[in-house]
Amino acid sequence: MEVLRQGLKDAIEVARVVVDNMDKDRHKDKVEAWFGKKDGVNYEQDVAKVFKNMVGKNHHHEGADVLGQLIVYPDDYWFVKQFKKNFCDVNNNGKTGTAYYKLRDGQYHGMHYCDKFFTRLSLKDYTDQYLKDDCANMADHIDTDHIGRKFQGANVLHGVMHFPLVGAAAVGKQIADGAYGAYSCYTFKNNKKVLDNDKSPVRRTIDNADSYVYYAMHIYLEEKCNREFKLPQDASDN
């Protein structure tokens, strides 16, 4: 459980850096880069609310009080009917899950982490391995391999976006999954096939969980590494 507590603290620390720095000139274009723009909609305000809902007063680096309603369950309690397996046992075209948020018994805000999560790095280890010497071991652009597949805090941040008292409370709708990975999130604003589909669970970029992860890490890395990171280059960055 200590790994999970630390993972949440690490995610909160990333969110705190976003809240404290997103208004800087060097980051002003990032909301549009990751979420696009829409006439009459203030995406900057919406995105800021999401991260502020997560950080709250941040007593003892534990984020907003509402996070106390999140329960991390040790058992994989989501039985996925489509695959007739519990979530962590599902292999969908070679892809397996890392974690999930899902109501339990229709009332408890629950999360569960699969074994894959525990192979990834805490913020301390991530910093030691990748962020020393102005992040010499990082790519020159944002990609999934160095973020989503390496850093536990990024995985926790994704899960918390689904928590209605953080995400939906800010944007007015449950944050779901329409795109995964750095490049897919970056190009999601142009994915009319999904965004214009009435049956899609995600009709707006601000309703996509992973977009918040890569937006947040873009700011976090530039603040911690003291250098610019380019946007994802192509599908190999997924």
**pLDDT tens digits for 182-191?**
999 999 999 9
Name the pairing type of β-strands 71-72 and 85-86: unpaired
pLDDT band at 127 (very low <50, low <70, confident <90, very high): very high
Does 95 reside within a domain?
no
CB proximity list for 219: less than 8 A, separation 6 or greater:
17, 18, 21, 22, 27, 30
Distances (CA, A) of 106 to 102, 164, 198: 9, 14, 26
> Mean pLDDT throughout 103-117?
96
Does 85 reside within a domain?
no
Q: CATH number for the domain including 37?
A: 3.40.390
pLDDT of residue 131 exceeding 90, the answer is yes
Q: Supply the pTM of this predicted model.
A: 0.96
Q: What is the pLDDT of residue 106?
A: 92
User: Please, what is the end-to-end C-alpha distance for the chain in angstroms?
Assistant: 29
Does 238 reside within a domain?
no
> Mean pLDDT throughout 164-176?
97
Does 124 reside within a domain?
yes
Q: What is the pLDDT of residue 227?
A: 94
Does 30 reside within a domain?
yes
Q: What is the pLDDT of residue 120?
A: 98
pLDDT band at 4 (very low <50, low <70, confident <90, very high): very high
> Mean pLDDT throughout 75-94?
96
Does 234 reside within a domain?
no
Q: Which domain holds residue 188?
A: 1-73+120-225
Q: What is the pLDDT of residue 35?
A: 97
Does 186 reside within a domain?
yes
pLDDT of residue 148 exceeding 80, the answer is yes
**Chain-wide mean pLDDT for the chain?**
96
Does 57 reside within a domain?
yes
Q: What is the pLDDT of residue 161?
A: 98
Q: What value does the CA radius of gyration of the chain take, rounded to a whole number of Å?
A: 17
pLDDT tens string 19-53:
999 999 999 999 999 999 887 788 999 999 999 99
Work out how many domains the chain is built from and give that number: 1
pLDDT of residue 1 exceeding 90, the answer is no
> Mean pLDDT throughout 3-15?
96
